[in-house]
Amino acid sequence: MHGRPRRPAKPVDEEAASAKAAKLRDLQVQVLQNHHSRTYTKEAIGLSFKLLEINPEAYTAWNYRKLAFQHNVKELSDPEAIRSVVDDELRVVEVALRQNPKSYGAWYHRKWLLNQKLTPVDSKREFGLLDKLLKVDARNFHGWNYRRFLARFMGVPDEEELKYTMDKIGDNFSNYSAWHNRSILLSNLLIQQSKGFESKQKIFSEEFELVTQALFTDPSDQSGWFYHLWLLAQISTPDKPQLIASWPCNGAKLSSSFIKEKVDQNTLSSIWCHSLKERTVPIVLYFNEPVKGLNQSSVKLKSYLEFGKDIHWRALSMTDSGYSNCWTTYLQIANECSTSQQYSVEVSIPCSEDIVSRSGSNYDSPVHFTFTIELISDSQDIDLFDKPVAWNCSESLQSYGNCEPIPFDLLKITSALIEEESNWHFERLSEQIDLFRELPDDNSKFVKLTLARLLLACAAMKSCGRSLIERKRYCDEALGHLSDLIHLDPSHKQYYEDERSSVLMDKLTCDMETFMKHCSVQVQPNSVPLNHVQLHGLSLTCVGFAERLMWVQVLDLSHNSVRSVEGLEALQQLVSLNISNNQISSFTALEPLTKIMFLKVLDLSFNEIGAHPIDTTRYICSSPFSHKIEACEAFEQCQKKNINVEEYWDAILFFKSLKLKQLDIEGNAIASKENFRTLVMELIPSLKWFNGECVN
């Protein structure tokens, strides 16, 4: 870890190892028997000690000792007797730690004992134990974790612990755990505005100077580079969450249909919204960092429209943490209209203690925006999918007549850039860039990666006017470093490729002039105008800056190297998506698409789905044998059609959530497997076109 090579394993005495294993098995059997029979005699507890002395990772033995301790201590009333029992248990932990200083079970057992609060804690003994262990291995993160616990438990000020980290870093710049603990302590002190920690400029200037000394002392050591990355994050991101984009955007006018004459005359003033055909409007809010706590109180809606259901905000996230950058709600419109009518919808997000970031910061950047919904009573009912959608990547993008995509400047609500003290932040970043350019080791991956991150942080602060030229210059230099890293450090190639893709997306979408080369309004015969973005053949491996694409209705990502579509869940307007000829290897990599309610056309052709006999990404998503009712129903539905659920469980979980009209999946290994077509037909009854053929 962190640049330290593993030590070669010592030669094993087979006979001694065999005897030790036999003794271990015998002890395990006896301890389990005592555990099941709830035998807590002195002899039985002694057997558990012998087992832990040999194998401190025997978790059942630790749990048994907890139960035995609780059972026996209830019978004691003499404080000295209780102290004796606690001391005996602490000594057992110390014996186990001599055997394995990184035993999870041993460290947890010691915390558990102290939390019982049966006797006063001997702080000298506890900190003395830590000093001995950290002298043996100064980077033992278990020991550092216990030290944080102990400091909180004993009420030791963070300032004192910060001095301790400085002592350890002074002893050895390579002490990753000390750097990590320092970042935790500094975060706490700055949030609390403790005495001497009121000025972030002063503190971070000193910390940059400290870590720079470490990096120039030994540029090949990872510890300082990780701390530098943490410092960079502190000065290049806002302190509190901000809303950076929304859909609908401020001033947008959505229509449930269109008037053909207006399309022909190029006088469209509204955006056709497919979801309005189902009397639904998605509202999407995108924050600069993951937040939680969006509800009817923290996000206020005002309109004369009647909403059929209670407004419920949900996180568009692939995890169940409750935090997400992107949140959505679906307005169910209940109004009946006999004539064409327009309704304004006002969205307000005041300062709120409900909306909280992962770091615990509250939202305090009030935002208000308004959009209009046009309901047309006698609108022409258009079937978008009467014919299959054809993708032609060779055609240059041209908008229909004079129709232009949505004005780019309407997409931004606020900027996630640091405004207060921004000059200081930019100057500090520029100093760091100049400094690392002077490092003699031009082929150090740490130098190149840090330079790339510094350059991108500077680019993020250059967002308008002449600054865009500087922004692109920073991005270009960062792209050069990332390209070098792909060759210098092939074991992390995919990470660097994803970082490069994110920078490419930033360059493409950061200003209107550049982005509009990839955008158009397309109108198919007898159809409606759709906002189209073409990003094919750009060597993208992932999709970044999705908040700038939330207005897109047709997206072409074909002929790239995309491995994951994470981020596209924010595109709730998306109707058609082409991700053919990419490197999608499983249906779990497509999970974000299940959150796009109105996706109708999906081209997955010529990817790698089903091509890998062992595909570990399949097991990232939740187990197919979960107790979710809808999952069970889909499995039962497929079993009735003699479909192998164990083989296709991820495909079932994916397709059951879609309401597609057109699907293309030829050129994937899975498409030729038995019963796959039957599975698709069974789970997507709305499908009209499959691999270019009409489905009855």
- Average pLDDT value for residue range 439-464: 81
Is residue 189 within 8 A of residue 162, CB to CB? The reply is: yes
Q: Are strands 300-303 and 341-349 parallel, antiparallel or unpaired?
A: antiparallel
pLDDT band for position 265 (cuts 50, 70, 90): very low
Specify whether 468 is located in the same domain as 612.
no
pLDDT band for position 648 (cuts 50, 70, 90): confident
pLDDT band for position 463 (cuts 50, 70, 90): low
Average pLDDT over all residues of the chain: 84
How many CA atoms within 13 Å lie on the side-chain side of 120? Answer: 4
Residue 536 domain flag: yes
pLDDT band for position 621 (cuts 50, 70, 90): very low
- Residue corresponding to tokens 């996706």: 599
pLDDT of residue 560: 96
Structure tokens at 3: 């640049």
Please say if the pLDDT value at position 444 is more than 60.
yes
pLDDT of residue 21: 85
User: What are the pLDDT digits (tens) for 150-163?
Assistant: 999 999 999 999 99
Specify whether 122 is located in the same domain as 15.
yes
Specify whether 427 is located in the same domain as 371.
no
What is the CATH classification number for the domain harbouring 321?
2.60.40
- Average pLDDT value for residue range 410-431: 62
Specify whether 16 is located in the same domain as 60.
yes
Specify whether 536 is located in the same domain as 501.
no
Please say if the pLDDT value at position 591 is more than 50.
yes
Structure tokens at 551: 């207005």
Specify whether 490 is located in the same domain as 536.
no
pLDDT band for position 23 (cuts 50, 70, 90): confident
pTM of the predicted model over 0.85: no
Name, of 97-111, 397-411, 508-522, the range with top average pLDDT. Answer: 97-111
Structural Rg of the chain based on CA atoms: 30
Q: Does a cis peptide bond (omega within 30 degrees of 0) precede residue 388?
A: no
- Average pLDDT value for residue range 607-613: 84
pLDDT of residue 24: 86
Listed range (227-236, 387-396, 553-562) with the worst mean pLDDT: 387-396
Between residues 328 and 630, which one has the greater pLDDT? 328
CA 343, CA 266: separation in Å to the nearest integer? 24
Between residues 226 and 419, which one has the greater pLDDT? 226
CB atoms within 10 A of CB 549: 26
Listed range (203-207, 539-543, 559-563, 644-648) with the worst mean pLDDT: 644-648
Residue 388 domain flag: no
Q: Does the CA dihedral 240-244-246-252 come out positive or negative?
A: positive
pLDDT of residue 524: 61
Please say if the pLDDT value at position 469 is more than 60.
yes
Is residue 519 within 8 A of residue 475, CB to CB? The reply is: no
Between residues 159 and 267, which one has the greater pLDDT? 159
Specify whether 525 is located in the same domain as 661.
yes
Is residue 540 within 8 A of residue 518, CB to CB? The reply is: no
- What 3 state SS string does 146-214 have? HHHHHHHHHCCCHHHHHHHHHHHHHHCCCCHHHHHHHHHHHHHHHHCCCCCCCCHHHHHHHHHHHHHHH
Could you give the angle at which helices 141-154 and 158-171 cross, rounded to 10 degrees? 150
Between residues 442 and 141, which one has the greater pLDDT? 141
Specify whether 653 is located in the same domain as 535.
yes
Structure tokens at 168: 């350890």
pLDDT of residue 361: 87
Among 457, 304, 461, 463, smallest CA distance to 372 is for: 304
Residue 408 domain flag: no
User: What are the pLDDT digits (tens) for 334-376?
Assistant: 777 666 788 899 999 999 889 999 888 899 889 999 999 888 7
Specify whether 248 is located in the same domain as 283.
yes
pLDDT band for position 380 (cuts 50, 70, 90): low
pLDDT of residue 626: 41
Is residue 281 within 8 A of residue 372, CB to CB? The reply is: no
Listed range (355-369, 416-430, 570-584, 646-660) with the worst mean pLDDT: 416-430
Cα Dmax for the chain: 94
User: What are the pLDDT digits (tens) for 277-319?
Assistant: 778 899 999 999 999 999 999 999 998 888 767 789 999 986 7
Specify whether 634 is located in the same domain as 567.
yes
pLDDT of residue 164: 93
Structure tokens at 384: 């978008």
pLDDT band for position 625 (cuts 50, 70, 90): very low
Specify whether 284 is located in the same domain as 346.
yes
- Average pLDDT value for residue range 29-53: 93
- Sheet containing 519-523: order of strands: 519-523, 529-534, 554-556, 576-578, 601-603, 662-664, 689-690, 693-694
pLDDT of residue 139: 83
C-alpha separations of 531 from 216, 275, 371, 412, 523 in Å:
51, 15, 18, 17, 9
pLDDT of residue 443: 65
Is residue 170 within 8 A of residue 213, CB to CB? The reply is: no
Residue 403 domain flag: no
Specify whether 489 is located in the same domain as 622.
no
CB atoms within 10 A of CB 282: 19
CA geometry: angle at 375 spanning 374 and 381, to 5°?
Answer: 120
pLDDT band for position 390 (cuts 50, 70, 90): confident
C-alpha separations of 675 from 95, 647, 664, 680 in Å:
59, 11, 16, 9
Percent of the chain with pLDDT over 70: 85
What is the CATH classification number for the domain harbouring 472?
1.25.40
What is the CATH classification number for the domain harbouring 638?
3.80.10.10
CB atoms within 10 A of CB 222: 17
What is the CATH classification number for the domain harbouring 150?
1.25.40.120
Residue 369 domain flag: yes
Residues contacting residue 402 through CB under 8 Å, at least 6 positions apart: 266
- Average pLDDT value for residue range 404-429: 57
Residue 222 domain flag: no
Among 327, 513, 544, smallest CA distance to 407 is for: 513
Residue 413 domain flag: no
Q: Are strands 367-375 and 253-255 parallel, antiparallel or unpaired?
A: parallel
Q: Does the CA dihedral 666-672-678-679 come out positive or negative?
A: negative
Structure tokens at 510: 């950061």
Residue 392 domain flag: no
The residue from 506, 532, 550 where one domain ends is: 506
The residue from 463, 483, 506 where one domain ends is: 506
Give the domain range for residue 595.
518-694
Residues contacting residue 530 through CB under 8 Å, at least 6 positions apart: 272, 521, 522, 523, 553, 554, 575, 576
Is residue 334 within 8 A of residue 308, CB to CB? The reply is: yes
pLDDT band for position 630 (cuts 50, 70, 90): low
pLDDT of residue 415: 45
Please say if the pLDDT value at position 538 is more than 90.
yes
pLDDT of residue 382: 65
Domains: count for the chain: 4
- Average pLDDT value for residue range 128-140: 88
Please say if the pLDDT value at position 505 is more than 90.
yes
Structure tokens at 295: 């509800």
- Average pLDDT value for residue range 114-118: 93
C-alpha separations of 262 from 270, 376, 483, 546 in Å:
10, 14, 48, 31
Percent of the chain with pLDDT over 90: 49
Is residue 209 within 8 A of residue 257, CB to CB? The reply is: no
